[in-house]
Structure 1
């Protein structure tokens, strides 16, 4: 169940990233968020109902709720005028929980520890953007940066691992963990570069309009 959820989460993160960089409209992404969010709540519930006293199964299943509520809530924000600050603070809670899982699994499954760390990073960005309302960090536009992080890392950190796990292809070696960490660092670095380029293009698109306004203001007025 968890692996199937990973496959779905990758595509919804990818599409939400496209929303953040202005390629997809929020309302057009809402149905996917609601669908994946519902799946991430209903299917784990069915598993937990049948889990009984199997604590290992319970512990492996309940984190799906964290992400299911994320997409349901975000889908509603995309469709309505809900204040996103509550969602931002909820994201801080999710980031803290998954950061704990990253630390907990680093000794037994370093590759998945990196994946947990990547989720903690993504949800921390949601908290900073929507909970705290911080939109820039120095010269970096955090909205575009977050969008590119989701576009570049959503499928590699969710859909791809989900498919590999479903097919029994997974490595828990330290080498695989370091490889995943290196790939994460490259993805974040590329997101910084792309976010800066997006900001430059946006500024270039706005500049001509501002120039026209200045020129009109400076024109001699006939009385």
Structure 2
């Protein structure tokens, strides 16, 4: 995925996180999702047509569609008032595809940073599955995860790419630690979320 695509994906995920946290209005965020989704569908079509048609080119360019269709599907679901179950099950499928991408980057490319980033994306898509398809009330937790990922996996890496800093070995090492720290944060937040949810359920039973 190109740096510009990553940058605007970061913007979309940032707005989606604020929407989930109740700080941004749904329809206005949905419109931006549509815009970014169109960008993430039109761009890979052009890249595929003009590529060397090798398997690796198709594999890399095809990844952009995972994001593009997610943003378009989410935007349409909100604007049209569709039930979110279809989006949720699609998110589960994308989460599985993201794991494949993570394994390929780790095994074939020996690229730890991109492997960790794809694992984080897989986790986020899986959370969308739980929320949208299984109707789990995890919006607050997902919002915090999405907020962190919008910066750690998309916005900042894209800026580093545009500044031609991303290939620097030291930065790659630092970003590995950033990704691991982010994952630890997700686990801690999940434990706190479960604890607070159980506490609320206990209080409701007492009342």
TM-score (norm 1): 0.78
Alignment-derived partner of residue 156 in structure 2: 160
Greater radius of gyration (CA): 1
For 1:152 and 1:197, the matched residues in 2 are separated by: 21
Aligned to 1:48: 48
Contact 1:18 1:151 in 2 (8 A): yes
Find the counterpart in structure 2 of residue 180 from structure 1. 178
Give matches, 1:61-140, under 5 Å. 61-107=61-107, 108-135=110-137
Superposed displacement of residue 63, structure 1: 0.8
What residue in structure 2 maps to residue 18 of structure 1?
Answer: 18
Aligned length: 197
Equivalent position of 2:58 in the other structure: 58
Structure 1 residue ranges without an equivalent (≥5)? 136-141, 204-223
CA-based RMSD of the aligned residues comes to: 2.7
Distance apart, 1:185 and its partner CA: 2.2
Checking the alignment, whether the CA contact within 8 Å between 1:152 and 1:191 is kept in structure 2 is: no
Aligned partners of 1:10 and 1:156 also within 8 Å: no
TM-score of the pair, normalised by structure 2? 0.84
**Alignment equivalent of 1:151, drawn from 144, 147, 170:** 147
Q: Deviation of residue 165 (structure 1)?
A: 2.1
- Pair 167,158 (structure 1): closer, same or farther in 2 beyond 3 Å: same
**SS of 1:163's equivalent?**
helix
Structure 2 unaligned segments of length 5 or more: list them.
201-207
Which digits, 9 at most, give the CA deviation of each residue in 1:8-27, with x for residues without a partner? 11111111111111111111
Q: Is the CA contact 1:114–1:180 (under 8 Å) kept in the aligned structure 2?
A: no
Tell me, in whole angstroms, the C-alpha distance in 2 between the residues paired with 1:168 and 1:32: 27
Which has the higher mean CA deviation after the structures are superposed, 169-178 or 114-123?
169-178
